[in-house]
Amino acid sequence: MISLQVFYEGNVQGVGFRWSVRHIAKGFDVTGWVRNLLDGRVEVQVNGEEDEVRAFLDGIAQSDLRALIRKRIENKLENPVATRGFEIRHE
């Protein structure tokens, strides 16, 4: 199992980015969440087997969202994200 925190920068808010990420997640055996940040970035936290998590992130990178992403920063998390399924957070 692996848990990652990923920040996306670019034109990633107000364009359906979170909804698209959640839709992509449905095709993979991952759990986690996606949310907008006040600084204009989008944060994703995701758990799963490493190959599933990598395939999910590749799915984002190869989707139509790729045109909106200028930069991606990835961090490993020590503790798994506590969530069922994959959700959009509004906090």
Where in the sequence numbering do the catalytic residues fall?
18, 36
CA distances from 38 to 14, 18, 24, 81, 87 (A): 12, 14, 23, 21, 18
Q: Considering only CA atoms, which of 85, 87, 89, 88 is closest in space to residue 28? A: 85
Tell me which amino acid residue 2 is. I
Neighbours of 4 (CB within 10 A): 21
Phi and psi at residue 49, in whole multiples of 5°?
-65, 145
